[in-house]
Amino acid sequence: MKCSNCGLEGEGHFCSQCGTRYGGEAFSSIRTNRVRDPIHGFIQFSDKEKQIINWPEFQRLRNIRQLALTDYVYPGAKHTRFEHSLGVMELATRIFHRLHSKNKTIIEQTLADIELSPEKARQVLRLAALLHDIGHLPFSHGGESVLPTGIKHEDVSIAVIRYLAARIDSLFFEGASNLAALLIQKGVAIPPQLTFLKNILSGEIDADRMDYLLRDSYHCGVAYGNFDYTRLVVCFFSKSHQFQMELFSTLHYLHYSFTVYYQEPPSKEKIIQELAKIKRDRFKEYLVSSAYDALDEAGLFEWK
């Protein structure tokens, strides 16, 4: 059977090259729209997901650089949170399909305890992956200095998702937005049945880190963040899994040591310090109105 994503012939239900589940089975409904990504090949999404992607709250991410001002040192690093979010959604889906193909009975029984079908669980995971960075500020993590003490971009993302909850739920099912927010939010208790979904998005080897390691390395033109992610996904239940985890951790360390934290200190720090001085009336310029209103309603703007 030919994989609809990478075009290679294969056997079984799961493409060993790119991780895509073959069409004509469960989970094939997402193949309605697709865009070509330099990292993952085709990224596929449904008409309903396309509506979310086209919302101004998400389109804003086209203007949020993944690595802030790193392009002053690595001129190719002009990629944004927009394509990263699409990439995380694609990777998270491939990991979910791999887990489901190897543990179908266990996963379905586990999800049945909270009256959630595998199809809905997969959709919640895709929503969480797509929206996990929707609250990111300009200048990447450095821009968080403009927020009140203790507030991070994850809190902003949760506030925006809560604000969009009615619209999201109307597209999918009641409670979809709340479950997606639980997968993103840190330090909160979640139903144990959802733990494996949360770990796919944010765990030891998660879709978020896998994507930005590959994407940042590609656009910076460096090699030390590259790894064979298709092999890593396929090996989740093999004897080489521990070795793959150790290799991934090493790559993650090298990536942050030499790329993300390498900068021209005076210029970057000065700009971020200026950003931190922006007051409430000017901060609104950096967010679409609905996103700003969401933060205000959530009580995140308790400025001193």
3-state SS of the chain: helix, strand, coil percent to 5? 60, 5, 35
Distance, C-alpha 119 to centroid of its chain? 19
Tokens coding 200: 């796919």
pLDDT tier at 234 (50, 70, 90 boundaries)? confident
Report pLDDT digits (tens) over 242-280.
444 454 455 554 445 444 444 444 455 555 555 555 544
Res. 42: pLDDT tops 70:
yes
- Tell me the torsion sign for CA atoms 94, 96, 97, 101: positive
pLDDT number for residue 241: 45
Angstrom distance (rounded) from CA 126 to CA 123: 5
pTM score above 0.85: no
CB 131 within 8 A of CB 85: yes
Q: How far is CA 147 from CA 58, 166, 260, 272, 296, in A?
A: 20, 26, 21, 12, 12
Q: At a CB cut-off of 8 Å and minimum separation 6, what does 63 contact?
A: 80, 138
Report which residue type is found at 68.
Answer: A
* Domains of the chain: residue spans and CATH: 48-297 (1.10.3210.10)
DSSP code of 1? -
Is the pLDDT higher at 264 or at 98? 98
- The pLDDT > 90 percentage for the chain reads 43
Is the pLDDT higher at 243 or at 97? 97
Q: Comparing 70-84, 98-112, 134-148, 262-276, which segment has the lowest mean pLDDT?
A: 262-276
Among 39, 78, 74, 66, which Cα is nearest to 220's? Answer: 74
